[in-house]
Amino acid sequence: MLCFIFIFLFVKNQIIFSLNKFNWKSAILKDIKRLFIIYQIIKLKDICLTLTDNKIYGFVGRNGSGKSVLFKIICGYVIADSGKIMIDGKELGKDMDFPEGLGALIETPGFIWYQSGFENLRYLARIRNKINDAQVKDAIRQVGLNPDSKKWVGKYSMGMKQRLGIAQAIMENPDILVLDEPMNALDEEGVEEIRQLLLKYRQPGRCILITSHNREDIEILCDEVFEIKSGVLQ
């Protein structure tokens, strides 16, 4: 029997979590005539980390190693078989549905294609009503996009969509920033701009977690690096 124990503790600017065995299944492939079920089993085993604020942590590993699943668990997007996540004395899934003060970009960002970048983020900002239109526009500027552009997101390049996804993650000034492959689809100039943005964002009271297939990103940005192989922390 697979069991999952995850303790995520945020006390005095320190995050501590422990992980022991997790089983995740996804069923996604469909064609015109048949429905295929694919079971992808990813086990996260015996992971124990202590993370502090004012740092950027990098997580590396091959596709399917468990990096994205770990990030989804931290964000509350995937529910564990058992165990608990504690953030600043509150239990995720019991005292709150999602971590407070969280900003995240997991996998490919999805937006309303027939609206502008600003309209998309303003719509998302209204869900929690923590920021105003000026703050939304400021986040868009920080990632190198024009917040006053009327261009539909459906006409954006992949790099522009990625920038907008990062703007969405940072726009509410989160304490915990979780970015899964933030440099995807960015050109060299875009990569450098986002690197500088993340280095600037690293401040006391903030904890940043990223994954990247680019070793240079990890070396430049991260204070500590963790490698995951087949769900096991090396």
Q: Identify residue 12 by its one-letter amino acid code.
A: K
Please give the pLDDT value at position 32: 33
> Does residue 49 form part of some domain?
no
Q: What is the pLDDT of residue 42?
A: 61
Q: Is 162 in contact with 176 (CB distance < 8 Å)? A: no
Task: Specify if 160 maps to a domain.
Answer: yes
How many angstroms separate the CA atoms of 67 and 76, rounded?
14
Q: Which residues contact 21 (CB under 8 A, 6 or more apart)?
A: 2, 3, 4, 5, 43, 44, 45, 46
Q: Do 100 and 22 touch, CB atoms closer than 8 A?
A: no
In a domain, 186, yes or no: yes
> Within a domain: residue 32?
no
pLDDT tens by residue, 186-224: 999 999 999 999 999 999 889 999 999 899 999 999 999
Strands 55-60 and 47-52, by their bridges, are: unpaired
Q: Is residue 65 part of a domain?
A: yes
Residue 101 lies in a domain: yes
pLDDT at 81: 65
Nearest to 207 by CA among 181, 170, 177, 173: 177
Give CA separation, 187 vs 122, 159, 233, in Å. Answer: 26, 7, 31
Task: Supply the range of the domain harboring residue 174.
Answer: 55-78+92-233
**Helix or strand or coil: residue 86?**
strand
Residues in the chain, how many? 234
Dump the DSSP string for 152-189: BGGGS-HHHHHHHHHHHHHTT--SEEEEESTTTT--HH
| Domain contains 96 | yes
What is the pLDDT tens value at each position of the chain, 234 positions in all?
A: 332 334 343 333 444 454 444 443 333 333 333 333 333 446 777 677 777 789 999 999 988 888 988 898 888 888 766 566 777 777 888 898 888 899 999 988 889 999 999 999 999 999 999 999 999 999 999 999 999 999 999 999 999 999 999 999 999 999 999 999 999 999 999 999 999 999 999 998 899 999 998 999 999 999 999 998 888 878
| CATH number of the domain that residue 132 is part of | 3.40.50.300
The answer to whether position 227 is within a domain reads yes
Nearest to 106 by CA among 184, 213, 180, 210: 180
24: which DSSP letter? B
Q: Is 200 helix (H, G, I), strand (E, B) or coil?
A: helix
DSSP lists the bridge partners of residue 65 as none
pLDDT value for 125: 96
CA count, 13 A, side-chain hemisphere, 48: 2
- Predicted confidence at residue 63, as pLDDT, reads 85
Contact by Cβ (8 Å): 15, 9: yes
Q: What is the tally of structural domains in the chain?
A: 1
